[in-house]
A and B are shown apart, each in its own frame.
Chain A
Amino acid sequence: MTAIAIGRLLRANTTGCVMGCRLSQTTTPAFGEMVRIPLDDGTKIYGLVHEIFIDDDGLVRQLVSSEVSSEVIEDNRQNRNVPIEISVVFVGWENASGQVFHTRIPTPPLALDEIFRCDGREIQHFTSGNRPGYLRALLRNEEIPAVDLVTAHLKQVLSVSNAADAAEWRDQFLNEIIALLKDDYPQLMDILTAISTVIE
């Protein structure tokens, strides 16, 4: 089955990117969801959605204050000129040989590159075999809501893993978080409290 792109890249650096996509309740990725950007050389860049921004324009402002039919509302939602902006923080990459790295990406993707949601197999591939080394980049990044993002990501990974793998990965994940944040008591307790609501 051929995957359908959810959007195209607007701007990027080696830390993250912003993509634009059409408004749709079904195709828009959720906060914390893992996405991938395949490059021409076979490299795949993986990231997590950490912000979804819906901008307004003059027409929307007019419609908000007018009495219009539901058909007009729906038409303006689906056919807007202003895209939804989705911010992604990169968590690692995969080379053409399929080897996964939980490090900063070598080069940023180019504008208008396509972005795809990751399916369960891809998530398992990215998260298996290594300890979750990308947590370091997430937890040290002060520009993203790390606590909620990590919790949402954990929830997604657990939902696509079988029970045995999930338990092992969860333990590694918790160990890594505690190891990274053990000297920051408030931050660690925040994140562990949030995670507690997910894994119990």
Chain B
Amino acid sequence: MNPQESRFNLNISDPENSVIGYVIGGGLKANLFVRLTVPAYEVQEGGFVVLESGNWQFYGLVTDLQLGALDPRYAEMQNAGRLSDSITRRLTSQTLYTNLEVLPALMLERGPEPGTAEYERWRKSLLQEPHPIPIKTVPAHHAAVRLASAGDVAEIFGNPQEKGKFEIGRTREQDHPVCIDLDKFVQRSSGIFGATGTGKSFLTRILLAGLIQHNAASVLILDMHNEYGFDDTASDTGKSVVGLRSKFPGRVRVVGLGRETKIRNHTPDFHLEIHESDIQPEDIELLTRELNLRETTPTTLDALVHHFGPQNWFREFRQMVVGSVVETDDGKKTPAPDSVAFWAKQAGVNETAAEGLRSKLTRVFNRKYILPDEEKAPLNSLREIIELLRNGKDVVLSFGDFESDLDYLLVSNLLTRKIREAWEEMTNNFRGKGEKEPRPLVIAVEEAHKILNREMASQTTFSTIAREMRKYYVTLLIIDQRPSQISDEVMSQLGTRVSGWLGDENDIAAVLSGLAGRDALRGMLARLQPKEEVLLLGWGVPMPILVRSRRYDEVFWQQLLGKDDRLTDDQAMKDLGY
């Protein structure tokens, strides 16, 4: 006999469908309180429970467990020497107890007892099949409470066998699969959060693999640390980590930033090189903090565009020289025609501001992946990426050795701006001219706080996408360890939030912002098991739930792709369009 059982004489519950307690109070605002009738260790924070009350079934999440006593003296006094074991056991079971605090989330009408005349009448009166709805009332006192069964979990989160239902993990206590609806997931921007080392990258790989396999949207991954395309080695375990390109050779293209860039010793499918004419003033303004630009920058950039045109300003400015002078016939030194000052005088711009900007932009001008227009590569790689995405392929943009914030900000924003333009055009053509409906696109953004922080969010294309591109079939998948650094406006737009352990109070508050029951969920986030558990939240999931996340290993791939977990050559060729 289990020592706990013998001491407290509690019923060890059957893991399936047995009652673990009964409702003793609470409400919609204050959560529900449940008296536990099984040992406390059988239920854990985050457990998914079902409350049965009359014709309704309620679904909730355990957010706290509290020890209680009818009289504090029962808890304070140990009676082992004073009373016999059997009496001690009985006294303990009747005077000491554990209460659960349950955050109620959904309710489902299940009707009278099946097989009865009342049930038949109720079925006939239904206008539509009952489905879980947000909670509007509370279960009665003494309503029975049990841990959710596999059927309950499937009722709420869907069955992994159904198309579009992707198993992201399993319930902690009873190991039932918990799914997210991928079609719903891509309809709004979403976020994966967690402190460093909590398995964000693995979880992201799992989700991305599910999205690619489901094939409901194209995926663009801005892979700052070269993790997702080719096979990698885990930094903590040293084990090999399979890349998406390896498992989806016909679907995923790895693009390396810059000519001759190698990613993990692999040659990417092609390289991304940016033409001077692709760069626009807003791409530079985005780098204000990174380059320590002054408030005169927009004026100077505006003058450059006005003077040279949007296609040529960058090239012309790049070719200008700071401090170049010529000597006039009378021996005076004046700005040379190729100097910044010469142009500034012509354009009526402050010379010092222009020269300062030119100097600060030297870091940008020196990027090897920005090609002079006369060196145009045979392939317009920017356009190629967009074409691939438009045609249902998935792209991993690996930054190779260009891992600085400058590279990440500049390239990701520029590429996203082009994508935004393309998808807006496609959507307008679809709506206005009846052309083909655009393929949904998910842009996965690592280190999202670098481009979606409060200071920069308003300037980047990403925040526009998070706010309004849902209508244009483009959404973001934000991956970050400091959600508190991300703009509130962007966070509020996130549909699905998947969060691993977070230690910082501000980060926890940011992840929970705008959600009902966030006070109850706050402690749960801080007590998640690092690397194993995640909390699913937000619009994209029917109710918050804590899951033990899936492992990114061979078993995962076999389950996702079948026994032969690599797409066949035929399938790959078919995917390529041959």
B485: min CB distance to chain A, Å? 53
Does A171 interact with chain B (Cβ within 8 Å)? Answer: yes
Residues on A with beta carbons closer than 8 Å to the beta carbon of B333:
none
Residues on B with beta carbons closer than 8 Å to the beta carbon of A195:
87
Interface hits, A14-56 → B, CB 8 Å: none
Residues on A with beta carbons closer than 8 Å to the beta carbon of B95:
178, 182
Residues on B with beta carbons closer than 8 Å to the beta carbon of A185:
71, 73-74
Interface hits, B53-106 → A, CB 8 Å: 70-71, 73-74, 77, 79, 82-84, 86-87, 90-91, 94-95
A171 lies within 8 A of B90 (CB):
yes
- With A182-B70, A183-B71, A185-B74 known as contacts, the answer to whether A196 contacts B83 (CB < 8 A) is yes
A179: min CB distance to chain B, Å? 7
Residues on A with beta carbons closer than 8 Å to the beta carbon of B79:
189, 192
A165: min CB distance to chain B, Å? 16
Does A174 interact with chain B (Cβ within 8 Å)? Answer: yes
Q: Which of B71, B82, B86, B91 contacts A199 (CB 8 A)?
A: B86
Residues on A with beta carbons closer than 8 Å to the beta carbon of B71:
182-183, 185
B83 lies within 8 A of A174 (CB):
no
Report how far A9 CA is from B222 CA in the complex, Å.
99
Residues on A with beta carbons closer than 8 Å to the beta carbon of B91:
178, 188, 192
Residues on A with beta carbons closer than 8 Å to the beta carbon of B73:
185
Interface hits, A167-200 → B, CB 8 Å: 170-171, 174-175, 178-179, 182-183, 185, 188-189, 192-193, 195-196, 199-200
A139: min CB distance to chain B, Å? 15
A167: min CB distance to chain B, Å? 9
Residues on B with beta carbons closer than 8 Å to the beta carbon of A199:
84, 86-87
Q: Which of B77, B84, B94 contacts A182 (CB 8 A)?
A: B94
A192 lies within 8 A of B83 (CB):
yes
B95: min CB distance to chain A, Å? 6
B366: min CB distance to chain A, Å? 80
Report how far A178 CA is from B74 CA in the complex, Å.
12
- With A185-B71, A185-B74, A195-B87 known as contacts, the answer to whether A175 contacts B94 (CB < 8 A) is yes
Report how far A185 CA is from B83 CA in the complex, Å.
14
A179 lies within 8 A of B94 (CB):
yes
Residues on B with beta carbons closer than 8 Å to the beta carbon of A193:
82-83
Give the A interface residue count (CB, 8 A): 17
B83 lies within 8 A of A178 (CB):
no
Give the B interface residue count (CB, 8 A): 15
In the complex formed, the residue of A with least CB distance to B90 is: A174
Report how far A110 CA is from B246 CA in the complex, Å.
99
Residues on A with beta carbons closer than 8 Å to the beta carbon of B82:
189, 193, 196
Report how far A178 CA is from B88 CA in the complex, Å.
11
B90: min CB distance to chain A, Å? 5
Interface hits, B204-229 → A, CB 8 Å: none
B58: min CB distance to chain A, Å? 29
SS class, residues of chain A in contact with chain B = helix
A196 lies within 8 A of B94 (CB):
no
Interface hits, B221-275 → A, CB 8 Å: none
A170: min CB distance to chain B, Å? 8
Report how far A175 CA is from B90 CA in the complex, Å.
7
In the complex formed, the residue of B with least CB distance to A193 is: B82
Report how far A192 CA is from B94 CA in the complex, Å.
13
Interface string of B440-479 (1 = CB under 8 A from A): 0000000000000000000000000000000000000000
B82: min CB distance to chain A, Å? 6
A194: min CB distance to chain B, Å? 10
Residues on B with beta carbons closer than 8 Å to the beta carbon of A183:
70-71
Interface hits, A131-150 → B, CB 8 Å: none
Report how far A189 CA is from B81 CA in the complex, Å.
13
Residues on B with beta carbons closer than 8 Å to the beta carbon of A189:
77, 79, 82
Report how far A183 CA is from B95 CA in the complex, Å.
9
Residues on A with beta carbons closer than 8 Å to the beta carbon of B90:
171, 174-175, 178
A196 lies within 8 A of B70 (CB):
no
In the complex formed, the residue of A with least CB distance to B74 is: A185
Residues on B with beta carbons closer than 8 Å to the beta carbon of A188:
91
A192 lies within 8 A of B70 (CB):
no
Report how far A21 CA is from B79 CA in the complex, Å.
43
- With A179-B94, A182-B94, A192-B91 known as contacts, the answer to whether A174 contacts B70 (CB < 8 A) is no
Report how far A171 CA is from B82 CA in the complex, Å.
18
Report how far A37 CA is from B90 CA in the complex, Å.
35
Q: Which of B70, B74, B84, B94 contacts A200 (CB 8 A)?
A: B84
A174 lies within 8 A of B74 (CB):
no
Report how far A196 CA is from B77 CA in the complex, Å.
16
Report how far A183 CA is from B72 CA in the complex, Å.
11
Report how far A123 CA is from B84 CA in the complex, Å.
25
B11: min CB distance to chain A, Å? 14
A84: min CB distance to chain B, Å? 35
A1: min CB distance to chain B, Å? 37
Residues on B with beta carbons closer than 8 Å to the beta carbon of A192:
79, 83, 87, 91
Residues on A with beta carbons closer than 8 Å to the beta carbon of B87:
174, 192, 195-196, 199
Residues on A with beta carbons closer than 8 Å to the beta carbon of B70:
182-183
Interface string of B105-145 (1 = CB under 8 A from A): 00000000000000000000000000000000000000000
B435: min CB distance to chain A, Å? 76
In the complex formed, the residue of A with least CB distance to B72 is: A185
Residues on B with beta carbons closer than 8 Å to the beta carbon of A179:
94
A153: min CB distance to chain B, Å? 16
A88: min CB distance to chain B, Å? 28
Interface string of B533-568 (1 = CB under 8 A from A): 000000000000000000000000000000000000
Residues on A with beta carbons closer than 8 Å to the beta carbon of B77:
189
Given contacts A174-B86, A200-B84, 15 further A-B contacts (CB under 8 A): A171-B90, A174-B87, A174-B90, A178-B91, A178-B94, A179-B94, A182-B70, A182-B71, A183-B70, A183-B71, A189-B77, A189-B82, A192-B83, A192-B91, A196-B84
Q: Which residues of B contact A (CB under 8 A)?
A: 70-71, 73-74, 77, 79, 82-84, 86-87, 90-91, 94-95
Between A and B, 30 residue pairs with Cβ closer than 8 Å are: A170-B86, A171-B86, A171-B90, A175-B90, A175-B94, A178-B90, A178-B94, A179-B94, A182-B70, A182-B71, A182-B94, A182-B95, A183-B70, A183-B71, A185-B71, A185-B73, A189-B79, A189-B82, A192-B79, A192-B83, A192-B87, A192-B91, A193-B82, A193-B83, A196-B83, A196-B87, A199-B84, A199-B86, A199-B87, A200-B84
* In the A-B complex, the 6 residue pairs with the closest CB atoms: A200-B84, A196-B84, A178-B94, A174-B90, A196-B83, A185-B71
